[in-house]
Structure 1
Amino acid sequence: MAKKNERIVETRLGRLTLPEERVLQFPRGLIGFGDQREFTLIQVREDSPFLVLQSLDNPSLGLLVADPYSFMTEYEVVIGEADRRLLGIDSREQATVLVTVTIPQGMPERTTLNLSGPIVVNNEARVGLQIPQTDSRYPAHYTPGMATPKKS
């Protein structure tokens, strides 16, 4: 049974008891999932760079995500003024940046990161946004290890 400041959440990884401070609010939802507003991050394994961004309202909706800087050093996320206000941050350094990850079954060498739609989270305020990027250097299907185009 969950305590006062906890929730019991069903996920594809099993049932979890989640403290309220681990709930992330996404006021605009995510692209393709605009009606999903509450998520949490679940560590896949202690030795893994991957997390699951798990919907709290839909147990079958969990997106594999990772810190893009674990795979590449040059990645500039542009966060507009309105998005910074909504997140409650003054600069990108006050937030965690995540990207969705696709790992085809049985073909981990074909893993891709979606660099064109990063998820930005203010960990202190527990607010997140998916912020589409317009820079063509950052594709929706970036293969880790692939050269990142430099700014012109």
Structure 2
Amino acid sequence: MNIQTKFLGAVDVKEEAIITFPEGIPGFHDETQFALIPLNETSPFLVLQSVKTEKVGFMVATPYAFKADYSFDLPQDDVVQLEIEQPEDVFVYAILTLKDTLVESTINLLAPVVINEKTKLAKQLVLPTEDEKLLRYPIKKAAEGSVK
């Protein structure tokens, strides 16, 4: 299937690679089907692109590349909803806020995107925390090559 993307132009994606967000993404509840597209073979960044709407695409990355001790508890309701059977079936991404330079950009660790790789079901969580630093966590150290 060929889709138009916000960042990469036209991209061919396999139907079986489509990820379904049953509730959509916060702020985009009508967008339920997305493709996860790597920027290139060596980049840690990917595009989470709506299959339906070209303008709805997000740069994402694994949060662990920017905060090695990042962790959260997945509520049991979400485990059931996403049909998670094994922890190793789960992939976690976080949405980036891009600035003029990569060094100024941030990653949102308060609202991770959780994907069950087996079922292709996904959800963006909003974590219950008062640590607002996690909302705009700087990726500067990783961009400079010193991931901590």
Question: Which residues of 2 match residues 3-152 of structure 1 at below 5 A?
Answer: 7-12=1-6, 13-90=8-85, 92-105=87-100, 107-137=101-131, 139-144=134-139, 145=141
1:40-96 deviation digits (Å, cap 9, x = unpaired):
001112221000000001011110000011112111122111110011114644300
CA positional deviation for 1:135: 2.6
Going from structure 1 to structure 2, the CA distance change for 1:122 and 1:42 (only over 3 Å counts) comes to same
Q: How far apart, CA to CA, are the structure 2 residues paired with 1:74 and 1:108?
A: 22
Structure 1 counterpart of 2:125, which letter? I
Secondary structure class of the residue paired with 2:137 = coil
Structure 2 counterpart of 1:44, which letter? L
Q: How many residues align?
A: 139
Q: How far apart, CA to CA, are the structure 1 residues paired with 2:14 and 2:88?
A: 25
Q: TM-score, normalised by structure 2?
A: 0.87
1:20-49 deviation digits (Å, cap 9, x = unpaired):
111000001111111100000011122210
Q: TM-score, normalised by structure 1?
A: 0.85
Q: How far apart, CA to CA, are the structure 1 residues paired with 2:87 and 2:67?
A: 17
5+ unaligned residues in a row in structure 1: which ranges?
1-6, 147-152
Higher Rg: 1
- Does structure 2 retain, via aligned residues, the 8 Å contact 1:97–1:118? yes
Q: How far apart, CA to CA, are the structure 1 residues paired with 2:53 and 2:89?
A: 29
5+ unaligned residues in a row in structure 2: which ranges?
143-148
- Tell me how large the CA RMSD over aligned residues is: 1.7
